């Protein structure tokens, strides 16, 4: 494009002298340069954001902590590599101790692979952890990560079994939940527990995980924890049956003239409870786990309760029709 035209001359003053030329404002200062990181593939230095600078600062601080704790780290990893656990509970307790110790030393079990994390360069060249140290870190972390996975899954199964056992009482203590909603919660708990069991013990990687646990020297297996969960599931069916049985008992105490108002609800509650029993029996059969006799007996009683309630509903409807006619 052509250059811009020159500015107009200032007008002359009354005495014939030219008016003073206004001063041109000074240009703004250049923007401050961001700290540059190492050059990228184009050999141009990278510009780091404040978040990246903070991340780099924290990394250096963590590296310093690891270097200062070098002897304690090596001693902890040697102890882990040589540890022997007599039973499952001892192994679980050992994981708790190990997790706290390694967190305090700045090398958490669930973080980066230890052999990669301990590659910390010295300013003058070389590394603070030599090849032998890194080989030890690799062996120790393989065992620690297996112990971590085992402990997490075993405790998930155990905690879910405890929750299942206590769920009925917890729902009963909540006055804001109606009886049909309580049964619905119990039914949902059946599906959630079975899903956890299958994801833990029937997933595609379950066999490979068990081999890894065996190679790490972890005694026992996850299956006993899964069996504990399956053994707790009938408590959900018992809770649903108790709700329906209480409804049926209340119906039987009603006067014949008022039973028609309650019979339909009793039939609905009993069908909900029966659905819990049928679903639970099907899940246990699929998992090749025996159904307790008490669950089968409750199922038969629920079927009889439905028949009784439906008969009362039908009798009253027929009586109302006769009265209308």
- Please give the torsion angle defined by the CA atoms of residues 248, 181, 295 and 172, in that order, rounded to the nearest 10 degrees: -80
Nearest CA to 80 out of 140, 38, 137, 29 is that of 140
Beta strands in the chain (DSSP E): 36-39, 45-47
- 10-residue mean pLDDT series, the chain (325 residues): 63 52 60 56 70 88 94 96 94 96 95 94 90 96 96 97 96 92 97 96 89 94 96 97 94 80 90 97 95 96 93 61 43
Helices 234-253 and 179-201 cross at an angle (nearest 10°) of: 170
CB 73 within 8 A of CB 105: yes
Distances (CA, A) of 26 to 4, 10, 21, 112: 20, 21, 15, 53
Angle subtended by helix axes 223-232 and 131-172, to nearest 10: 10
Residues 6 or more apart in contact with residue 153 via CB below 8 angstroms: 200, 222, 225
Dist. CA 302–CA 273, nearest whole Å? 8
Measured CA to CA, the distance from residue 241 to residue 280 in angstroms comes to 13
State the pLDDT at residue 41: 54
Cα(14)–Cα(6) distance, integer angstroms: 24
The Cα–Cα gap between 72 and 66 comes to 9
3-class DSSP assignment, residue 171: helix
Longest dimension (CA), the chain: 125
Question: What pLDDT is stored for residue 61 in this prediction?
Answer: 94
Q: How far apart (Å, rounded) are the C-alpha atoms in residues 129 and 137?
A: 10
Alpha carbon distance, N-terminus to C-terminus of the chain: 102
Contacts of 198 (CB under 8 A, 6+ apart): none
316, 263 contact by CB (below 8 A): yes
* Per-residue confidence (pLDDT) for residue 306, from 0 to 100: 94
């Amino acid at each position: 494009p052509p250059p811009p035209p020159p500015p107009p001359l200032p007008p002359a003053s009354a005495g014939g002298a030219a008016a003073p030329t206004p001063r041109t404002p000074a240009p703004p200062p250049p923007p401050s340069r961001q700290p540059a990181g190492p050059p990228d593939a184009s050999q141009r230095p990278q510009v780091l954001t404040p978040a990246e600078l903070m991340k780099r600062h924290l990394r250096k601080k963590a590296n310093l902590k690891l270097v200062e704790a070098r002897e304690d780290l090596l001693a902890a990893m040697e102890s882990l590599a040589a540890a022997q656990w007599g039973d499952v509970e001892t192994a679980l307790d050992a994981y708790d101790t190990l997790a706290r110790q390694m967190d305090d030393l700045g090398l958490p079990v669930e973080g980066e692979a230890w052999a990669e994390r301990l590659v910390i360069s010295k300013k003058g060249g070389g590394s603070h952890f030599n090849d032998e140290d890194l080989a030890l870190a690799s062996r120790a972390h393989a065992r620690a990560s297996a112990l971590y996975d085992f402990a997490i899954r075993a405790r998930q199964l155990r905690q879910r079994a405890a929750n299942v056992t206590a769920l009925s009482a917890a729902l009963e203590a909540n006055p804001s939940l109606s009886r049909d909603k309580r049964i619905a919660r119990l039914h949902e708990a059946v599906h959630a527990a079975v899903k956890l069991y299958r994801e833990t013990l029937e997933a595609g990687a379950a066999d490979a995980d068990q081999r890894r646990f065996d190679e790490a020297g972890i005694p026992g297996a996850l299956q006993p924890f899964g069996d504990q969960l399956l053994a707790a599931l009938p408590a959900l069916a018992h809770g649903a049956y108790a709700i329906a049985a209480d409804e049926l008992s209340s119906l039987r105490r009603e006067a014949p003239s008022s039973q028609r108002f309650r019979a339909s609800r009793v039939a609905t509650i009993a069908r909900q409870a029966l659905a819990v029993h049928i679903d639970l029996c099907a899940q246990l059969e699929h998992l090749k786990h025996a159904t307790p006799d008490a669950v089968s007996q409750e199922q038969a009683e629920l079927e009889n309760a439905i028949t009784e309630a439906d008969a009362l509903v039908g009798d009253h409807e027929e009586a109302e029709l006769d009265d209308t006619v």
